Structure 1
Amino acid sequence: MTPRTVVRTPRHSVSERPFIVIWEATRACPLACLHCRAEAQTARHPAELDGADARRVMDQIAAFGRPGPLFVITGGDPFQRTDLTDLITYGTSRGLRVAVSPSGTPTLTRDRLLAVREAGAVALSLSLDGSTAARHDAFRGVPGVYDWTLDGWRTARALGLKVQINTTVTRNSLEDLADIAALVRREGAMLWSGFVLVPTGRGEQLDSLTPAEIEDVLHFLYDCGSVMATKTTEGHHFRRVALQRTVLDARGERPRLGPLYGRLSARAAELGLFDGEHRPVRRPPMDVSSGRGFVFISHTGEVQPSGFLPLSAGNVKTRPLTGIYRESDLFTKVRDPSLLRGKCGACEFKTVCGGSRSRAYGFTGDVLEADPYCAYEPGSFPYETALTKSTSR
């Protein structure tokens, strides 16, 4: 595998156009998830972007050019909007690939999922934070969410929608990750994403993980990539792990990891997670980060580098998204790895990783500080010459 295929880069310059645009269509949601970034409410906010506003947003996204960015409609629960399918239809007509990220509620009916597909949506994103109903429902704050999620997942797949499963990595889910992975592999998904928690919204109340634990999780996710497509959200050092493991694998060596990795690997063996056919080609992680190929639009139109980085660079009601993304001080700053401070600034992987700007801000109040969840010490990888081409761009 060449360095270019270990970590993928978007075909177009990320300073000119995003690879993915996330729109928070509403903050209304009947769940009470412990980590909720949006601190979702039961009722819709009166200042939400209305249908006309949303269409103008999609026009602005289309103005980046073709092929257009992936457009993800999230929330809250986007099914709380009665115009959801109309918006999907419009986005599709503007040449956008549209995906929907609903909550696991009784709204995940076959009729609604069929309407989403027929409107043009290409994928569905669902959350699974426990391998059992007891674990998942406790995290989501409402009984029955686990069953609704699995029913919606199976129905979506039967209808031909691609399904991505997202799992929040918290203190409560750490020891359950192998079981969740086995469930995802058994049920089938386009992609399994491990969300490395950012302390924002309700997530500020959850216990922090240690950098060593995160390192073990990232390497376990890398192992899972041999049998199913895996990625991370706000775990940008997964790209560093992929590069390091590729070099080590070529030399027949294994990384030195902690006890959590040992327990997850042992449990995976018990479950037979890595038995059977392996993927012929591992899915390379995409080199996209907050403000660098990624943009978030809030329910009121504020434009942020990430939904987990609560700093606005402008509002789509008063300034075109293209200008905000390409020219705003905030976006140009987070795209420049030479400005990074601390370990991130000194790291040889900073151009391909750069750490989580959202987590740096959440812990320190400084968007350019080091990611506190990274265990890697700059310069400590023994085969630096093998990485030279991989980490330069």
Structure 2
Amino acid sequence: MADLVERWVNNPLSRSLLKFITKRDERGRRIDRIFLNYIGSEVSLSLGDKLGSFILKLFFRGITKRLGIDEERIKEQLRFGYWRRGLASVLEGIALRGVERPFTASAPFLIVWNFTDACNLHCKHCYQRADKPKPDELSTEDALRAVDIMADAGVAYIAFSGGEALVRPDFFKVAEVVREYEMGYSLATNGTLLTRENVKRLEESGCDFVQISLDGLRETHNRFRGIDCYDRVIEGIKNAVESRMAVGIATCVTRYNIHEVDALIDLAEKLGADQFIHYNFIPTGRGREIIEMDITPDEREDLLNRLASQIGSRRLILLSTAPQYARVCLGYGYVSLTHFDTVGQQLGKGEEVGFLAEFIGGCGAGRLYMALQPNGDLTPCVFIPIKIGNILADDFTDLWWNSEVLNKLRDRKSFKGYCGRCPWREVCGGCRARAYAYFGDVQEADPGCPLNMDRWRMIEEKIPSPRLEAEVKVGGDGFD
């Protein structure tokens, strides 16, 4: 059935109709007005809009019938602005490129915005080397211009990160403008500043989700974070849980804390969190200094299986930034589309689930998401420090479609090692950030996967044992 839908959507007539309903004019994207009409909102429609609205209804009825999806459920989701924006980018992407496996949206669904390099902690693994604000960080005025640009391009969701975004005094002013555009927004935070007052302000400004870092139980977390802050983080988690926002607890797993993962999931559940997210360790930024603490491919595979095996039996959603998690979850009859997916694990089994996993496609860098740095530079991922342009100096949409680096990330057939010929290539794709951090090449094999053990053995020859104190220089140019 999924193949039938794919052929139907990919035929020239369907593509032409999609181009018509996603056409841009002086009023913006036609599809945005059509969606508002579809959910029953009052909106002025041109004759072309009305025709497009009729086409969209036929399109949705055909898709939902063939895939067994309740059309009313789609309407309910489309009442959220970021859902409308995201689906508009999907349809526009299909109109431009057809149904690809994996898929590239017409604009990033998600922008992770490192809002500042300032931070009140000094974490061992920080990809940003956050400490003090840099002198070239965007002013409030320029940050608001950046929001305008992302909104106009069709970005659906902004995930504020850092550094610690709450350190910056104008955070809420910028966040409120994001919501005025009906983009969704979330906050990744170390949790120490989640006072009741700040949590209330986050709610009032429209924050959907708060992700709080917790990298171990008390002693481990404090050692990892460089300061005694465990109690403040737990208090911040409790404050967030009492709000209407969804709450996720994020743990970057290394040899420091892999033995505490199960206890952390128990703690997250006890505290009332909605999600537990395993973060892949990427040896970039300050993380280069603890490269010897990376876990082995077999340890990672075991961890991902432990997470997937508990789906459905835990009250919270179990996620991972490791793209291999999509492959592992399919083995348990579930689909985990991305590390920010809260829907996939609720879907049933079947051919359609497998198609959806290939369509979303694991690592989303350069296809579904991109990163924005404190100074306005754009990078493929927060963990890949390759500048592809600047949001204020360059054309955002032109960069998205024509960046050489982003197109390399999309070309999975050119990936090296087993990643390029893996039967799970469309579902997973390997972590491009780990490939770049270890080999200086975004198309290299991901050494974190057991199917690339030859690459991991190369690394083991270069890095010291975790029992030894030694420095290793790793990064953009590979090993020295």
TM interval, shorter chain, is 0.7 to 0.9
State the 4+ residue runs in structure 1 displaced beyond 4 angstroms. 2-5, 279-286
Residues 71/181 of structure 1: CA separation in 2 closer, same or farther (3 Å cut): same
Query: Relative to structure 2, which stretch is displaced further, 85-94 or 145-154?
Result: 145-154
Deviation at 1:64, TM superposition (A): 3.0
The answer for unaligned runs of 5 or more in structure 2 is: 4-66, 69-85, 94-103, 335-344, 454-480
Mapping of residues 273-312 of structure 1, within 5 Å: 287=361, 288-312=363-387
Q: Distance in 2 between matches of 1:74 and 1:20?
A: 12
Deviations 1:249-304 (A, max 9, x none): xxxxxxxxxxxxxxxxxxxxxxxxxxxxxx97689876452112010011111111
SS in 2 for 1:101: strand
Q: Distance in 1 between matches of 2:348 and 2:231?
A: 30
Percent of residue pairs identical: 30
Q: Distance in 2 between matches of 1:224 and 1:146?
A: 26
Deviations 1:93-128 (A, max 9, x none): 0111011122232x2211112112111211111101
Mapping of residues 1-393 of structure 1, within 5 Å: 11=87, 12=90, 13=93, 14-41=104-131, 43-65=132-154, 68-105=155-192, 107-130=193-216, 132-143=217-228, 145-206=229-290, 207-226=293-312, 227=314, 228-233=316-321, 235-246=322-333, 287=361, 288-376=363-451
TM-score, normalised to structure 2, is 0.66
SS in 2 for 1:376: helix
Letter in 2 for 1:116: L
Deviation at 1:326, TM superposition (A): 2.1
Residues 129/282 of structure 1: CA separation in 2 closer, same or farther (3 Å cut): farther
SS in 2 for 1:324: helix
Contact 1:60/1:320 (<8 A) preserved = no
Q: How many residues align?
A: 335
Letter in 2 for 1:139: F
Q: Distance in 2 between matches of 1:116 and 1:360?
A: 36
Deviation at 1:377, TM superposition (A): 6.7
Residues 347/242 of structure 1: CA separation in 2 closer, same or farther (3 Å cut): same
Q: Distance in 1 between matches of 2:310 and 2:109?
A: 25
Query: Relative to structure 2, which stretch is displaced further, 164-173 or 10-19?
Result: 10-19
Q: Distance in 1 between matches of 2:389 and 2:179?
A: 25
The answer for unaligned runs of 5 or more in structure 1 is: 248-278, 379-393
Contact 1:168/1:195 (<8 A) preserved = yes
The alignment's C-alpha RMSD in Å is 2.3
Contact 2:446/2:452 (<8 A) preserved = no
Letter in 1 for 2:108: P
Q: Distance in 2 between matches of 1:377 and 1:38?
A: 27
Contact 2:323/2:431 (<8 A) preserved = yes
Structure number with the bigger relative contact order (C-alpha 8 A, sep ≥ 6) is 1
Letter in 1 for 2:304: L
Q: Distance in 2 between matches of 1:62 and 1:246?
A: 36
Letter in 2 for 1:112: N
| Greater percentage in helix | 2
Q: Distance in 1 between matches of 2:404 and 2:204?
A: 40
Q: Distance in 1 between matches of 2:385 and 2:377?
A: 10
Letter in 2 for 1:176: E
Q: Distance in 1 between matches of 2:294 and 2:320?
A: 17
Contact 1:15/1:335 (<8 A) preserved = no
Q: Distance in 1 between matches of 2:331 and 2:346?
A: 20
Rg (Cα) greater in structure: 2
